[in-house]
Copies of this chain bind each other. A is one copy, B any other.
């Protein structure tokens, strides 16, 4: 059983520790990296030994958060995890397994946090773990420097789609205001995080959009990109994730599908669903999985066969959802 802490208690534990190892989740996003880095800079400002450990490399787009990375140089008095809801999310690469089973303090905003740490500060009303960590850092008596503000803003902005998603609250905006006053370079950050695409991404998007099709009486929209087109676009395949939000963003569409052919020839299918439709149910029928609103699977075959297979399952799930509603 974990013991629940409040902001002040969590801050006190961090202040008491002489050295702190900060753990982020695998496949790191802006919130876990932003929090890990902000906490590192805050602890360093207090003269403590601190470093960040993540099972995967920090994506280059977050390089400016500039934490010290842990390479086993010290034995931490305290192990803290940020934005990590459960043990399986730490991953098992490198030094991680040696520390992820002995987390002292977890700071998180997931309602489903499994309570794996000895002490846990969870606030499911926080839009990002950064919203919570900002309060902890202030309670630690650390001044919000521009560097810390940049890191916290990164978590806040990426987890809220830049204040667009429904998790955004009045407090989220107030903390953004504080971070701007503390010197967060929001113009450069927003440009980097949200507004810049490579020419290759633009070209891949142009091709995918030119393949837009409507099916099932307009309840389903799909786009696709085969491997030759991906190669010709010059885009890095890892930069094409945003394509998956295009079809579901069209008026009236309940299921949005994106088909990306992989280098081996198979088709990676990304399924997005509107409120009331279960994307994961569609994916599961095809051997995949995921969440209620975002799921996926990978299929072999010609594009036409793959499309027909996915559309058939989408139709079944859509019809079931319509029946339930009526």
Q: Which residues of A19-75 are within 8 A (CB) of B?
A: none
Copies of this chain present: 2
How many A residues have CB within 8 A of the partner chain? Answer: 41
Verify if A174 is at the interface (C-beta below 8 Å from B): yes
Are B168 and A173 neighbours in the complex by a CB distance under 8 Å? no
Residues of B with C-beta under 8 A to A166: 186-187, 190
Are A173 and B180 neighbours in the complex by a CB distance under 8 Å? yes
Are B249 and A195 neighbours in the complex by a CB distance under 8 Å? yes
Residues of B with C-beta under 8 A to A168: 180, 186
Q: Mark A227-265, 1 if CB is under 8 A from B, else 0.
A: 000000000000000000100111110000000000000
Q: With A170-B181, A173-B177 known to touch, is A164 a contact of B194 (CB < 8 Å)?
A: yes
Q: With A163-B176, A249-B197, A250-B197 known to touch, is A202 a contact of B212 (CB < 8 Å)?
A: yes
Residues of B with C-beta under 8 A to A16: none
**In whole angstroms, how far apart are the Cα atoms of A214 and B174 in the complex?**
40
User: A298 CB to closest chain B CB, in angstroms?
Assistant: 26
Verify if A162 is at the interface (C-beta below 8 Å from B): yes
Residues of B with C-beta under 8 A to A302: none
Verify if A88 is at the interface (C-beta below 8 Å from B): no
Verify if A199 is at the interface (C-beta below 8 Å from B): yes
From B163, B180, B212, A170 is in contact (CB under 8 Å) with: B180
Residues of B with C-beta under 8 A to A174: 173-174, 177
Verify if A178 is at the interface (C-beta below 8 Å from B): yes
From B176, B190, B195, B209, A209 is in contact (CB under 8 Å) with: B209
User: A107 CB to closest chain B CB, in angstroms?
Assistant: 23
Q: Which residues of A131-189 are within 8 A (CB) of B?
A: 162-166, 168-171, 173-174, 176-178, 180-181, 186-188
**In whole angstroms, how far apart are the Cα atoms of A180 and B172 in the complex?**
10
Q: Apart from A170-B177, A173-B177, A197-B249, what 8 extra A-B contacts exist at CB < 8 Å? A: A162-B162, A163-B176, A171-B177, A191-B275, A195-B245, A199-B250, A202-B209, A206-B212
Which 6 pairs show the lowest CB-CB distances between chains A and B?
A173-B177, A170-B177, A166-B187, A170-B180, A173-B173, A173-B176
